[in-house]
Structure 1
Amino acid sequence: MPRALLRHAAAVLFAASVAYGQAPASSGLIQVDGIAASVSGKIYAVNTSHDSVSIVDATGHVESVATGARPIAVAVNNRTGRVYVVNSGGHSVTILDAENHVVATVPTAGRSYAIALDEATNKVYVTNTFSDKLTVIDGDTHAVTNIKAGSADGVIVDPDHQRLYMLGYESDTFRVMNLATSKLTNEPTHAHHQWGFVRGGGMLYVAHVQDADIGAIDLASYAVVNVPTGHMPCALALNVDGHQIYSANYGDGTVTIVDTATRKAVATVAVGGKPQAIAYEPTTHTIYVADAHSGMVTLIDARTHRMRKRVPGGDRPYALAVNPVTHQVYAADMGGTPFTELR
């Protein structure tokens, strides 16, 4: 199967309540960054079908702002207040200011997909499906540079080491770009089908969907330790204070709780269904796990590892975001309403 079709199959695997490779036209591609929170207390959720982004402020007021075609991901630079909306259909990025005004729309090198920010240097990095170019946006001038870095399904900035990590679903390596020189190297993950990933504590954690484990990668040495999880881990969340990683396991309806110090699983919590998104709210010590198939979100006590309750997550919730001001959690939905406030 061609690379582009494999990527699309991977995306819809967790997106629709149908069999693998049989997604309806309404599902399309999705992105874990379809919803984001700012330190000012705003939530930004893409509305792909209406070419807009919905913005919820700390008081609950909702505003819709037009973007480019088929917005798929959003990221916030909390230092500048600028918001970047990735328009997959428009091959562009829409830039908003802190007052929700569109200040620019800049082109990308292809069908834009994943995004990461370096707040210190005010640079924005956007991957492009069907292209081997990485689009780099200067946050000060909005100037665009396209770098031949290969196609990637996920991207994350490491400000501590001044690196950019690019991961691909089909690869058993990840690309590392030096942010100062743009030099590229490949490092092993020792597994194909990399899906969810998160960085913290000098480590990069990568979910290996096919192998039922998480790769814990030391970012100083690139040494890898594989930690067993449930079947088909597809999303990860980090609890920095509690020294834990949470893995949503799509294949067997469980959440694996991993101790980051020992790099061993300490608990497995059954949530049922097909969990595909996960988030941690530190004030209430609660793990949120979304199931797009059932439309429900399960809440787990991170201290006791017991399920608290299930709440409606809207129409096919596929991503989660925590408001750091109100501590409210929101789900990005694939249905007619772009988000649901979880209660």
Structure 2
Amino acid sequence: MPSGQSDPAFSADEIERVRSLHLAKKQRACLISLLLLLAPLASCRRRDFPQYPADYREYAYVTSGGSNTVTVLDLVNLRQDRVIRVGDNPTGLAANPVKNEIYAVNTNSSSVSVIDAQKNAVVATIPVHSKPYFIDLDARGERGYVANSGSNNVSVIDLTRRREIALIGAGEGPGMARISPDGKSLVVTNRTSGSVTVVDPQTYKVRSVFTGCPAATYAVILPDSSKAFVACSGGHQVMVVGLARTDSPIAIEHADRLLTFLDVGQTPVHLALKPDGGEIFVSNFDSDTISEIATQANEVGGAYLVGAHPASAVVSADNSTLWISKFNTGSIEVYSIDDGKTINTVHVGDGPDALAFSAEGHLLLVADARSNDVAVVRVMSRTPGGINRVGTLFTLLPAGKQPNDIVVKAFHVR
């Protein structure tokens, strides 16, 4: 415009229309920028997470001993669903393999809370005996077995009628009662007396007692129900027990028998069994190592230094990787079983302990006992460059005080 000439006058309506057009243009630009920012996140979620049908539900249940609650985490939407009040100091958990029910053991209330997984509410409370800690279920989801450490016995629970139907005497301070996959042997670890009791679950009678396992705690049974392995946490050994099989062509296998003691690291606290049953990985809490046991040969293949205080471990469904919680380092070690080496370290919350995979195995859930949360770890993810990466922290979800066990239940609503 030539100098000395004034701008033409605009009416009030024209000025308002120009302002509106300018504002709309800015809003469109902001919206486009926001969409461009969110697009990678959206594509990442579609690429790395399963797509579920509308009727699919999957929850993780976490006992929190310090707040007398069970926290329910929605694994479809990755958020806390609700917090359920149960008994005093809930510890062990089990998910029914047939029904949509979860069972939480209340140590200081001497009871078991039954949670309906569709309603996510307590629907029954079953009295047991003094100081229970763990519960195990048979393969048909009909019976529950609770070792009562304060009363030196095991409660047998009818899960349909929701009541105790038998009481079996055990050794001193029983910590765990583990039922075999074929339902023919019940293995009880007696921490105080340092012994293992084997029970006939059909007659509720003790078949055998084996001593010499100081602070017997964790136990696993092979998929074919032929052997039990028990961590002697007060020392540095694992007890191996052959379980009676009356249909075996070998006469010696018709009775329970002590097979051997295997030397591992100091203070073995947890046993992780490969899904195929071929190997067991022992968490040696005070040796900072993992020992590898070949289950058919009853031999220790070696020990691997993993970091301060391995507390728990779990093997992936394809038998390829071992995931180890290191209690005093706030991290998870990812160990390649086939390669025999560590492939990643994932930092999580404080005091990682109990571990569980999601139903499809794409997430690992870690109960952080000191920071009162659950770490959600992607088992497999991809970098922006398209490179696969094993183990990355996705998020932390709140739990109650002192989370100490975790189980997962997936189902379709009716």
TM-score tier (shorter): 0.7 to 0.9
Cα distance in structure 1, aligned partners of 2:278 and 2:187: 22
Match of 1:292 in 2: 327
Match of 2:160 in 1: 140
Bigger mean CA offset, 199-208 vs 218-227: 218-227
Name the residue aligned to 1:42.
59
Query: Matches of 1:40 and 1:164 in 2, distance apart?
Result: 32
Alignment partner for residue 281 of structure 1, among 311, 316, 322? 316
Given candidates 58, 62, 74, the residue that maps to 2:75 is 58
Segments of structure 2 that go 5 or more residues without pairing to the other structure are 1-55, 245-255, 378-392, 394-414
Number of the residue aligned with 1:174: 196
What is the RMSD computed on CA atoms of the aligned residues? 2.3
The one-letter code matched in structure 2 to 1:188 is F
- 2:52 aligns with none
Distance, in Å, in 1 between the alignment partners of 2:277 and 2:113 is: 36
Q: In structure 2, what is the equivalent of residue 20 of structure 1?
A: none
Is residue 71 from structure 1 mapped to residue 95 from structure 2 by the alignment? no
Size of the alignment, in residue pairs? 305
- Deviation of residue 111 (structure 1)? 2.5
Structure 1 Cα separation of the partners of residues 67 and 373 of structure 2: 9
What's the TM-score, normalizing by structure 1?
Answer: 0.81
Moved more, 144-153 or 86-95: 144-153
For 2:356 and 2:121, the matched residues in 1 are separated by 22
The answer to whether residue 351 in structure 2 is matched with residue 316 in structure 1 is yes
| 3-state SS, counterpart of residue 156 of structure 1 | strand
Deviation at 1:79, TM superposition (A): 0.7
- AA aligned to 1:68 is G
Select the residue among 205, 213, 216 that pairs with 2:237: 213
Contact kept, 8 Å, 1:317 with 1:333, in 2: the verdict is: yes
The answer on whether the counterparts of 1:279 and 1:288 sit within 8 Å (CA) in structure 2 is yes
* Equivalent of residue 193 in structure 1, options 211, 215, 221: 215
Shift of 1:76: 0.7
Corresponding position of 1:18 = none
1:102 aligns with 2:119: no
Distance 1:50-1:273 versus aligned 2 partners, 3 A rule: same
Q: How far apart, CA to CA, are the structure 2 residues paired with 1:84 and 1:170? A: 25
In the alignment, the residues of structure 2 paired with residue 113 and residue 242 of structure 1 have an alpha-carbon distance, to the nearest angstrom, of 25
Structure 1 residue 227, shift from structure 2 partner: 2.2
Identify the residue that residue 85 of structure 1 maps to in structure 2.
104
- Displacement of 1:147 after TM fit? 1.3
Structure 1 residues 129 and 228 mapped into 2: Cα distance closer, same or farther (>3 Å)?
closer
**1:327 alignment counterpart:** 362
Q: In percent, how many aligned pairs have the same letter?
A: 23
Q: Say which structure is richer in helix.
A: 2
- Please give the per-residue CA displacement for 1:108-154, whole angstroms capped at 9, x wherever unaligned: 22222221112426111222232134222211111224515134111
Corresponding residue of 1:35: none
Matches within 5 A, 1:12-27: none
The 1-side partners of 2:208 and 2:258 are apart by 13
Partners of 1:242 and 1:159 in 2: how far apart? 12
**What does residue 301 of structure 2 align with?**
266
- Secondary structure of 2:343 counterpart: strand
For the structure 1 residues 322 and 229, does the alpha-carbon distance in structure 2 shift closer, same or farther, using more than 3 Å as the test?
same
Q: Equivalents in 2 of 1:126, 1:215: separation in Å?
A: 21
CA contact (8 A) 1:267 1:305 kept: no
Aligned partners of 2:345 and 2:295: how far apart in 1? Answer: 27
Q: Is the 8 A contact 2:97 2:140 kept in 1?
A: no
The Cα offsets for residues 6-25 of structure 1, whole Å up to 9 and x where unpaired, read as: xxxxxxxxxxxxxxxxxxxx
Structure 1 residues 27-59: Cα deviation after superposition (integer angstroms, max 9, x where no partner): xxxxxxxxxxxx974322112222211223431
Structure 1 residues 187 and 103, CA gap change in structure 2 (3 angstroms): same
Return the offset for 1:315. 2.2
Give the residue type in structure 2 aligned to 1:199. Answer: I
Q: What SS does structure 1 have at the residue aligned with 2:66?
A: helix
Q: What whole-Å deviation, never above 9, does each CA across 1:178-218 have from its counterpart, x for those lacking one? A: 22211123321543222322111421111223442222221
- Give the superposition deviation at 1:172: 4.1
**Is the Cα–Cα contact under 8 Å of residues 73 and 85 in structure 1 kept in the other structure?**
yes
Amino acid of the residue matched to residue 69 of structure 2? S
Runs of 4+ in 1 over 6 A off after TM superposition: none
Alpha-carbon distance between aligned partners in 1 of 2:322 and 2:273, rounded to the nearest angstrom: 10
> Pick from 245, 254, 257: which aligns with 1:222?
257
